Amino acid sequence: DAGVIQSPRHEVTEMGQEVTLRCKPISGHNSLFWYRQTMMRGLELLIYFNNNVPIDDSGMPEDRFSAKMPNASFSTLKIQPSEPRDSAVYFCASSGSNRNYGYTFGSGTRLTVV
């Protein structure tokens, strides 16, 4: 298995532009998580899905952020409009139905909003 695949690896965009981050979880995993990592706040949970259904989106900063999981093999995190304070590394992770071995993380997308 190729693991959790995220794209793009790096994204530089201008303030006000729309940004879409993509994630392909590990085949067979039924939970998917989006985290954001910054020096100041560490790893923060944004949203997680179970069987493609959003379960907890309380970590989504504001209405500018939205996430979808149209099927078991794909999820997107969209920021519209983007702001400089959104600059961070965004990680996607997936896990199976039990809680053994925690989550498998992707390599992340480093977003810079200028």
Partner 1 sequence: GESVGLHLPTLSVQEGDNSIINCAYSNSASDYFIWYKQESGKGPQFIIDIRSNMDKRQGQRVTVLLNKTVKHLSLQIAATQPGDSAVYFCAENQAGTALIFGKGTTLSVSS
Which residues of the chain form contacts with partner 1 (CB under 8 A)? Answer: 4, 33, 35, 42-43, 45, 48, 56, 91, 93, 99-108
Nearer to partner 1, 70 or 102 (CB): 102
Q: Which residues contact 90 (CB under 8 A, 6 or more apart)?
A: 6, 21, 34, 35, 36, 37, 46, 77, 108, 109, 111
List residues bridging with 3 in a β-sheet. Answer: none
Q: In angstroms, give the least distance from the CB of 15 to partner 1.
A: 25
Q: In angstroms, give the least distance from the CB of 99 to partner 1.
A: 5
Nearer to partner 1, 39 or 62 (CB): 39
CA distance 45 to 92: 10
Nearer to partner 1, 65 or 103 (CB): 103
Q: In angstroms, give the least distance from the CB of 2 to partner 1.
A: 13
Nearer to partner 1, 48 or 65 (CB): 48
